Amino acid sequence: MHFDVFNGDADGIIALLQLRLSQKIEQPNDPVLITGVKRDINLLKQVDVNKAKSVTVLDISLEKNHDALVEILQKEINVFYVDHHRTGEIPQSKKLVSLLDTDANTCTSLLVNNYLNGEFCTWAVAAAFGDNMQASAEILAKQNNLTLEQQSLLSELGVYINYNGYGRSVEDLHFHPADLFQQLLKYPDPFELIYEKNSIFTQLKNAYLADMDKAKNAEVLFNNEHCKAVQLADEPWARRVSGVFGNELANASPNKAHAVITKNDDGSYTVSLRAPLKNKQGAGDLCARFPTGGGRAAAAGINALPQEMLSDFFNSVSEYYA
């Protein structure tokens, strides 16, 4: 049995899409899909080590999946691991083939795109836009002679797929990421999807625009030269839109760090932090200072920040980027 383990955001879904559409590599028979909401990254432990012969892992931090990976490798299961998040210590094993690059301007789909020599580069462009890597997306788009209109459509597609991954649980999402992946697998050419009437593209677009419209009234909790934090309501629409709304704030004020905050049932806060676009570093380390925090240099989060640490967090972020 083969297991495909992937993050439920645009980067994870599209990285797998590129691999499974490919004519260049051997394809597994009826792979088992393991994914979840974007924040659900402890996915590797869900692999059944007694049934797995091989595992592909995409866009989830090796550091956070280290123990499960070691167990899989000890069972002599082949692992192909592609990612751009924190790696921690990388296990040494002949069974592990990895493409790991934590450069702030690359993402898993771009790494897969290199691996496949650009076989589905239009999808990779959409993924890079979806992971908010504008500059890298535009470079790849230009290399492939995509027009500005094509770029902006692929950007929309990436943003909508990414938006679908945000929620506390899969019940918040419009599409389960595994179902969304299966639907997208019908479109080797993303423009076919984009131009199709009433397609998933259109459905996601309408849902996205409705949620974003509500987010414009968000309450500002903290705002200075270096950091802006806004709070969104604890409702499915807000949980879905928090990440992409954060990207929009970041693009509007590229010199500031941005935090989008929602309250959890237990009174703690979910935090999504983005480093200033002009200084894409430190977000992962900042979030890791707080319990349940972690992530990448450019974008990171805290799953349950205790209420009494909120102002501490704002001050830390503000001081760090001052």
List residues binding Mn ion (CB under 5 A).
11, 59, 107, 131
Compute how many other C-beta atoms are within 10 angstroms of the C-beta atom of residue 143: 11
d(CA 234, CA 243) in angstroms, rounded, equals: 14
Give CA separation, 209 vs 57, 204, 242, 244, 296, in Å: 31, 9, 13, 11, 27
In the complex with Mn ion, which residue's Cβ is closer, 61 or 122?
61
State the residue number with the nearest CB to Mn ion: 11
Minimum CB separation from Mn ion for residue 131, in Å?
A: 5
In the complex with Mn ion, which residue's Cβ is closer, 247 or 318?
247
In the complex with Mn ion, which residue's Cβ is closer, 128 or 204?
128
Write the CB contacts of 256 (distance below 8 Å, at least 6 apart in sequence). 225, 226, 227, 228, 250, 276, 321
132: left (phi over 0), alpha (psi -120 to 50) or beta: left
Minimum CB separation from Mn ion for residue 108, in Å?
A: 5
Minimum CB separation from Mn ion for residue 245, in Å?
A: 18
d(CA 71, CA 106) in angstroms, rounded, equals: 28
DSSP at 295: E
d(CA 259, CA 250) in angstroms, rounded, equals: 9
In the complex with Mn ion, which residue's Cβ is closer, 40 or 59?
59
Minimum CB separation from Mn ion for residue 306, in Å?
A: 27
Locate 86 and state its tokens.
């924190």
d(CA 131, CA 8) in angstroms, rounded, equals: 12
Minimum CB separation from Mn ion for residue 84, in Å?
A: 6
d(CA 50, CA 72) in angstroms, rounded, equals: 9
In the complex with Mn ion, which residue's Cβ is closer, 10 or 310?
10
Minimum CB separation from Mn ion for residue 73, in Å?
A: 23
Minimum CB separation from Mn ion for residue 107, in Å?
A: 4
In the complex with Mn ion, which residue's Cβ is closer, 158 or 293?
158
In the complex with Mn ion, which residue's Cβ is closer, 4 or 59?
59
Closest CA to 260 of 281, 229, 289, 239: 229
